[in-house]
Amino acid sequence: MTTGKVYVFDHPLILHKLTILRDKRTGHKEFRELVEELAMLMAFEVTRAHPTREVEVETPLATMKGRSIAGQEIAVIPILRAGLAMEVGVSRLIPTARIGHVGIYRDPESLEPVTYYAKFPVDIAEREAMIVDPMLATGGSIVACIDALKQRGCRTIKVMAIISAPEGIKKVHDAHRDVEIYTAAVDSHLNDHGYIVPGLGDAGDRLFGTK
């Protein structure tokens, strides 16, 4: 069976910032800034093959041919809460992207995803959707998000997760093999509470200082 595509970044800046992010001594202000920066760097790599078209530009000295972004327009889809900080970073790089919000939390007992909110751009079916969430753990939240996007006709979907567990990658690709996963690290495993080991702990709590 062909497996889905997983891209693991090895850019030195991404690896460096990820190490600081994992450190339990990193406070929530720095944590949030790092997540934003990592999302921006990752989006830079994810969009590397995006099509461009020739345009004419007039400089103060001459007219020349330049290039502009073309092809499918992008919608960034942060999964609440922790995806919000990644959306800030991606939007800084792609300011014209539309944003769709999906509220999902994991039931602490069953670890099953509970969707409590979803609002997408009206033309989501025509856009490339870039789902952003720092953690791909069991994969339940991201599968629920992909399901919601596909139900609305969206066909081009990419996932950007800072840290992934092998279990989560498998779950996403068992359900949606067409979806590409971009991540800065594939960690060892999940613990009994569904946390990624070694991971970075609870992304939402560390971002927003809620614990």
Residue 135 sits in the site that holds ligand URA (CB under 6 A): yes
Question: b/e map of 26-57 (b: 16 or more CB within 10 Å)?
Answer: beeeebbbbbbbbbbbbbbbbbeeeeeeeeee
199 binds, among ligand URA, ligand PRP, none (CB under 5 to 8 A by kind): ligand URA
Alpha-carbon gap, residue 169 to 163, rounded angstroms: 11
Is there a contact between 18 and 39 (Cβ–Cβ < 8 Å)? Answer: no
Cβ proximity to ligand PRP: between 46 and 86 the closer is: 86
Residue 74 sits in the site that holds ligand URA (CB under 6 A): no
Alpha-carbon gap, residue 141 to 102, rounded angstroms: 10
Instruction: Give the residue carrying structure tokens 């460096």.
Output: 16
Among positions 78, 89, 121, 168, the unique one binding ligand PRP when judged by CB under 6 A: 168
Cβ 163 to ligand URA, closest distance in Å? 7
The DSSP call for residue 119 is E
Cβ proximity to ligand PRP: between 126 and 194 the closer is: 194
- The closest of 209, 203, 211, 198 to 36, measured between CA atoms, is 203
Residue 196 sits in the site that holds ligand URA (CB under 6 A): yes
The binding track of 80-109 with respect to ligand PRP, each residue x by CB under 6 A or -, is: xxx---------------------xxx---
- The closest of 32, 12, 88, 77 to 200, measured between CA atoms, is 32
Among positions 137, 144, 161, 172, the unique one binding ligand URA when judged by CB under 6 A: 137
Cβ neighbours of residue 33 closer than 8 Å, sequence gap 6 or more: none
What is the rounded radius of gyration, in angstroms, for the C-alpha atoms of the chain? 18
Residue 113 sits in the site that holds ligand PRP (CB under 6 A): yes
Residue 144 sits in the site that holds ligand URA (CB under 6 A): no
The binding track of 176-205 with respect to ligand PRP, each residue x by CB under 6 A or -, is: ------------------x-------xxx-
User: Among 19-27, 43-51, 79-87, 117-125, which window interacts with ligand PRP (CB under 6 A)?
Assistant: 79-87
Collapsed DSSP state (helix, strand, coil) of residue 87: helix
Which residue sits closest to ligand PRP, CB atoms considered? 204
Footprint on this chain of ligand PRP (rule: CB under 6 A): 79-82, 104-106, 111, 113, 133-141, 168, 194, 202-204
